[in-house]
Every structure is written in structure tokens, then in C-alpha cells.
Structure 1
């Protein structure tokens, strides 16, 4: 039987996954993976069974590896910025 991960290990994995999700250049992918990460770790946090907790943690580690590779590809082939994204170079009505 495997030992369940420590709360510190889960928190570290959560932070790494959030950081990786924020690195997507595509707005839609970035927001989807941020939402999915928060949802996944809420379920991990609520888990009481040590065996299920270990299984969920190991699955999240595998998903982080896939997410990191996907983020690199998305950064290489990122598209145009969407209108809903904050754009710092756009002039507002108050600018002269």
C-alpha cells in the first residue's frame, strides 16, 4: 500500500500546475486549464480515503507532465490576442 501524499506535496503540485496553466499563450486554453486545475484539486482536497488520495495525486502528477508539454507547444504556435484579453498597448478615450 502506498502512503498518501503530504499536504505540502499536494500544495506544491497545485502551485506548479497553476503556474503551468498560466503559461499558456492562448486565452481559452489558459482559462480552461486554470478552471480544471482548481476543480481537480478541490476534489483532491475533499478526498478522505488514503488510497484514493494517492491515486488522484499520481494522476495529477501525470497530467502536469502533459500540461507542461502542451504549454510549450501552445507558446510556440500561439495565435492572436483576443478582444477579451487585457491589452496594454490599446489607447483608451482618456489618452491624448
Structure 2
């Protein structure tokens, strides 16, 4: 039985979901790594036409998305301090009156 390729919209939805899950990490280093990795992996498959490869890619990345979501939740539970390179809220200065 020939494998049918997932639609372009299904792959784009998977890409968006994976990016959202990647951005859910509270740790800066993990967050940046998974965002870069997601963009790179989906960029490589962008021009693929082989239905079998697309189906295998889609199935594998769907499983990875579930792992990524669980990992992000654990990272949020045990996240540490913000790093200097992250945007931090400016502290309010007291007005001298």
C-alpha cells in the first residue's frame, strides 16, 4: 500500500505547533535550541516531493512534538533564573520628590 503524503497545510500546522511548543520552555538555552532546530528541520524538508519521505517525516515529527510538549512542561516546573541575554522587565525607579 502506497503511503499518502500529508497535505501542505498539515505540515504547516505541525510546524506551527512545534514552534509554539519550543517557545514554551522557560529556560533560554533550551528555548533557543528547539526553535533553531525546528526551523532547520522543516526548512530541509520544504522542497521534498516523495510521499513516503513526507509521511515518515510527518509521523516522526508528530511523535517528537508530544515529547517536546511534555519536556516544556517539566522545564517550566523546574525553570531557573532568567539569563542576562533575556529581556527583563525594567525595575521601577522611585521618583525623588
Normalised TM-score (structure 2): 0.89
For 1:79, what is the secondary structure of its paired residue?
coil
- Structure 1 residue 50: Cα displacement: 1.1
- Structure 1 residue 43: Cα displacement: 1.5
2:21 paired with 1:16: no
Q: Is this contact kept in 2: 1:5–1:53, CA < 8 A? A: yes
Match of 2:74 in 1: 73
The CA deviation string for residues 30-73 of structure 1, in whole angstroms up to 9 with x for no partner, is 00000000011112212121111111111110110110010000
The CA deviation string for residues 9-46 of structure 1, in whole angstroms up to 9 with x for no partner, is 00100010001101100000000000000011112212
Match of 1:54 in 2: 55
Match of 2:36 in 1: 35
Instruction: Flag the structure with larger Rg.
Output: 2
Partners of 1:5 and 1:91 in 2: CA distance: 51
Number of residue pairs matched by the alignment = 94
2:13 paired with 1:5: no
Unmatched runs of 5 consecutive residues or more in structure 2: none
Structure 1 runs (4+) deviating above 4 angstroms are none
